[in-house]
Amino acid sequence: MSDDIHAPAAAAPCPEAPTTAAPPRKPRPLEIEELLVINAEGAHYARCPTIRLQRGDGRVATSRPAGSGSACPPETVVLDGVLSSEECDNIRESFEAAGEFKPPGSATVRRNDVVVWIAPPSVLRLLWRRLAPLHQWLEQSEYTPPGLRPAGLSARLRLYRYSPGQTFLPHYDGSQQGWLLPDQGSKLYEDEQLRSRYTILFYLNSAEEFDGGSTTLFAGGDEHGEALPVHPVRGGGLVFPHGDHPCSVFHSGALVTRGVKYAIRGDILFCERDYMGDGTAMKYFTAYV
């Protein structure tokens, strides 16, 4: 699987299907408290220690503009209160215990550690409910083509870890097809009727816990031009357009010089208004869990 990023003149790489899997095991039901981990970069599959999200607490994020003036790209908002502090700690500790982080390659703009993982539908629905303030805004945006509507979050998420000396060089995020996992299934699939138009970042710790590490947004696609740094806040997030969206944002993850930064990268999917998820136009990959 790729890192789904590209330089200004390059096309976004397409995700590749996992090529090998662990020996078949009987699938078991997925509970809402659990995040299923499938890693690493298609090499094998693993289950990390149970990650727990708080359900029934009525948590709903709030949103606000990322900034003001010409340095703030359009269609870009900061989120507050998506995850609780306890949830952030639990996610970080569980992934560290799993030991599945992959170091950066030598020829990539991503120069941090990453674990690729898949969230079950129950968790994606919970997170999407917490993002309720975004739903109408995304659907009514002047940049949303007629006939399209937001459909939720892709199951394929990336947890990034930035240690001192690590960074994410300036780049555009590429649009991706939707990755899904049935409620009690054992096949991960890519639905060609779902396509992402926005990046969503969830920050698992705050800027006070590390030096550097801001998400820097560049106006006009020029890293030497006007820049807007967004400083991570634990449990908060950032949403901005990507791929073929006309306002796709050129951005970077600034160099971390002290401490460790953790963030989750996700994709907000769109579909045709009459989309029913009927199983057509899908590519299936065996993913025994």
Residue spans of the domains in the chain: they are: 5-12+28-286
DSSP state of 175: P
pLDDT of 200 reads: 98
Higher pLDDT, 155 or 251: 251
CA distance 279 to 164: 44
Mean predicted confidence (pLDDT) in 156-169: 93
Which of 12-26, 128-142, 217-231 has the lowest average pLDDT?
Answer: 12-26
Mean pLDDT of the chain: 80
Which of 77-86, 105-114, 198-207, 211-220 has the lowest average pLDDT?
Answer: 105-114
pLDDT band for position 179 (cuts 50, 70, 90): confident
Distances (CA, A) of 58 to 43, 54, 78, 81: 38, 9, 20, 11
β-strands 256-259, 210-212 pairing? antiparallel
pLDDT of 237 above 90: yes
Mean predicted confidence (pLDDT) in 29-44: 40
Residue 179: which of 148, 153, 144 has the closest Cα?
153
CA distance 208 to 177: 35
Distances (CA, A) of 229 to 72, 140, 216: 10, 27, 4
Mean predicted confidence (pLDDT) in 110-123: 82
Distances (CA, A) of 192 to 9, 68, 144, 155, 283: 24, 36, 18, 14, 8
> Token pair for residue 226?
């006007």
Mean predicted confidence (pLDDT) in 108-124: 83
pLDDT band for position 185 (cuts 50, 70, 90): low
pLDDT of 289 above 50: no
* 5-12+28-286 to CATH, choices 3.30.1440.10, 2.60.40.1890, 2.60.40.10, 2.60.120.620: 2.60.120.620
Q: Hey, how many other C-beta atoms are within 10 angstroms of the C-beta on 172?
A: 22
pLDDT of 74 reads: 92
pLDDT band for position 4 (cuts 50, 70, 90): low
With a pLDDT cut of 90, the percent of the chain lying above it is 49
pLDDT, tens digit (0-9, with 9 covering 90-100), for 50-99: 677 788 778 999 999 998 888 889 999 999 999 999 999 988 988 888 77
Higher pLDDT, 29 or 147: 147
CA distance 115 to 104: 11
HSE toward the beta carbon, residue 38, CA cutoff 13 A: 26
pLDDT of 43 reads: 42
Mean predicted confidence (pLDDT) in 121-138: 90
